[in-house]
């Protein structure tokens, strides 16, 4: 069987293959009480979220090869040795040793469901009977936001170091899939969990591949300087010529958790920005680091990401999330109005609810197309030089992410 080559050298090259995860029972296995612990600000209506995600997936399936996370996990769990490594890797140090034999006895399809959706506590002892916990294995509520746990960079995959403990199993699963699934078997970048007793944090929503030699990274609540330095050190060991543009992010509100919530690339010369953070902040640093042949060439502060990229011969015209009214900017950024996913240069996916943002895109030459029209073959994205395919996002957006968050691209055409 021919392996799927990891090949990501930009954010906008024509999409060839992508990994998705359709939200399942793990989303319903959440209450208002545990929503904050699960990194949500609200609970979702699962049937509506599934319908919205289905439209999203159907559009992408018409445009590229799509892999489903659960199917990939089930495949590798059929190997007993890999199964044991995954189970022990996730649960051995979480006071769950007693249930490991039970997990080992499960068939792969059942086990993959339990790992993602959660395993309820058996009320077979006094302690378990009295426990206020519902789950022995906590559901992975956030896994449909596929972007965060791993990142395709060139021909490798960076495995994230997640800030939230509740999300750490996702990284172990993605690492196991990329190393062991017969369709992949690629090299993963695994940065150390700590450096000089400092936790190294980096998440996929903060890492954007601007060009083969330019990586944009957000630094805030989910990715820190130690994690970013560790990634840069990886490329130093490879003696690569790379430019890293680091954008400091506000630590609150939660809608600013990743760089791709305030900045995404749309076309060769267009990007979407949340203006107050990217263009008008006077306290958030933008730092340009250049390395080559294993050495630091320069580290200096820039005014904005846009100006830093312009100096690297990558001029971009910013399109403003929410339009020119600050009130609308805040409302639409909150519901992922700056978070778009490109499936080809100038062809993007986003939420239909962000009307003022869509109006700005339309002014810049993007034809607005409803996802259902693409699915029903009423509209063909090939007929347009620029377009935005809109997906209903009344529930998905309440999970705290957008179209880019829900995708893990693994292959694109080079530009």
Query: With contact defined as beta carbons under 8 Å apart, do 387 and 368 qualify?
Result: yes
User: Whole-angstrom distance between the N-terminal and C-terminal Cα of the chain?
Assistant: 27
Question: CB of 12 within 8 A of CB of 342?
Answer: yes
pLDDT of residue 1: 56
Q: Examine the pLDDT at 252 and tell me if it is beyond 80.
A: yes
Residue 29, pLDDT score:
79
- For the chain, what is the radius of gyration of the CA atoms? 21
pLDDT at 237 over 80: yes
Instruction: Indicate the pLDDT class of residue 394, thresholds 50, 70 and 90.
Output: confident
Whether the Cβ atoms of residue 153 and residue 146 lie closer than 8 Å to each other: no
Please name which of 389, 355, 365, 386 lies closest in space to residue 375, comparing C-alpha atoms.
389
In tens, the pLDDT along 104-123 reads 999 999 999 999 999 988 88
pLDDT tens digit sequence for 327-377: 999 999 999 999 999 999 999 999 999 999 999 999 999 999 999 999 999
Please compute, for residue 197, the number of CA atoms within 13 A of its CA located in the half-sphere on the CB side: 0
Of 28 and 117, which is predicted with more confidence?
117
Write down the pLDDT at residue 259: 98
pLDDT confidence of residue 187: 85
- Give the model's confidence band at 154: pLDDT under 50 very low, under 70 low, under 90 confident, else very high: very high
State what percent of residues in the chain have pLDDT above 70. 96
Q: How far apart are CA 88 and CA 326, in angstroms?
A: 49
Domain parsing of the chain, residue ranges: 15-81+139-412
Check residue 255 and give its pLDDT.
80
Residue 32: is its pLDDT beyond 80?
no
- Which has the minimum average pLDDT: 51-60, 159-168, 304-313? 159-168
Q: Are 265 and 309 in contact (CB under 8 A)?
A: no
Q: What is the predicted pLDDT for the residue at 40? A: 58
Per-residue pLDDT of 280-293, as tens digits, reads 988 999 999 999 99
What is the percent of the chain where pLDDT is above 90? 82
Ordered alpha helix ranges (H), 79-186: 80-91, 100-105, 108-117, 126-130, 168-180
Contact status, residue 255 vs residue 276, Cβ threshold 8 Å: no
Range with lowest mean pLDDT among 82-96, 302-316, 317-331? 82-96
Q: Residue 37: its pLDDT value, please?
A: 57
Q: Where is average pLDDT lowest: 106-115, 183-192, 224-233, 351-360?
A: 183-192
Write down the mean pLDDT value for the chain. 93
Quick one: pLDDT at residue 123?
83
pLDDT of 210 strictly over 60: yes
Whether residue 133 is predicted with pLDDT greater than 90 in this model: the reply is: no
pLDDT tops 60 at residue 378: yes
Residue 195 has pLDDT above 70, yes or no: yes
Please classify residue 173 by burial: count the beta carbons closer than 10 Å to its beta carbon, then call 0-12 exposed, 13-18 middle and 19+ buried: buried
Res 95: pLDDT: 72
Which one has a higher pLDDT value, 41 or 59? 59
Q: What is the C-alpha to C-alpha distance for residues 118 and 116, in angstroms, rounded to an integer?
A: 6
CATH 3.75.10.10 assigned to domain 15-81+139-412? The reply is: yes
């Amino acid at each position: 069987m021919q392996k799927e080559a990891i090949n990501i050298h930009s954010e906008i090259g024509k999409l060839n293959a992508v990994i998705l995860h359709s939200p399942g029972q793990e989303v319903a296995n959440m209450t208002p009480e545990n929503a904050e612990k699960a990194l949500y600000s609200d609970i979702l209506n699962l049937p509506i979220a599934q319908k919205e995600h289905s439209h999203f997936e159907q559009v992408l399936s018409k445009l590229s090869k799509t892999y489903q996370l659960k199917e990939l996990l089930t495949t590798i769990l059929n190997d007993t040795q890999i199964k044991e490594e995954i189970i022990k890797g996730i649960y051995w140090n979480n006071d769950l040793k007693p249930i490991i034999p039970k997990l080992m006895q499960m068939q792969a399809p059942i086990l993959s469901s339990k790992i993602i959706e959660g395993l309820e506590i058996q009320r077979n002892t006094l302690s378990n009977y009295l426990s206020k916990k519902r789950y022995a294995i906590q559901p992975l509520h956030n896994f449909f936001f596929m972007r965060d746990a791993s990142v395709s960079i060139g021909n490798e995959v960076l495995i994230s170091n997640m800030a939230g403990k509740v999300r750490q199993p996702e990284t172990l699963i993605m690492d196991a899939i990329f190393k062991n699934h017969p369709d992949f078997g690629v090299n993963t970048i695994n940065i150390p969990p700590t450096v000089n007793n400092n936790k190294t944090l980096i998440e996929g929503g903060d890492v954007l591949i601007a060009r083969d030699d330019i990586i944009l990274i957000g630094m805030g609540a989910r990715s820190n300087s130690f994690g970013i330095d560790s990634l840069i050190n990886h490329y130093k060991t490879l003696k690569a010529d790379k430019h890293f543009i680091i954008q400091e992010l506000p630590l609150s509100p939660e809608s600013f958790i990743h760089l791709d919530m305030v900045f995404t690339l749309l076309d060769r010369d267009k990007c979407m920005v949340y203006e107050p953070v990217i263009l008008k902040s006077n306290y958030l640093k933008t730092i340009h680091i250049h390395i080559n042949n294993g050495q630091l060439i320069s580290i200096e502060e820039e005014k904005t990401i846009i100006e830093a990229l312009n100096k690297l011969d990558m001029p971009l015209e910013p399109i403003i999330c929410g339009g020119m009214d600050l009130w609308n900017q805040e409302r639409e950024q909150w519901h992922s109005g700056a978070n778009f996913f490109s499936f080809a240069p100038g062809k993007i996916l986003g939420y239909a609810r962000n009307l003022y943002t869509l109006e700005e895109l339309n002014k810049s030459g993007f034809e607005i197309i409803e996802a259902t029209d693409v699915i029903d073959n009423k509209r063909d994205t090939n007929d347009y030089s620029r377009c935005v395919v809109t997906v209903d996002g009344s529930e998905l957006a309440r999970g705290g992410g957008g179209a880019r968050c829900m995708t893990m691209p693994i292959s694109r055409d080079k530009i």
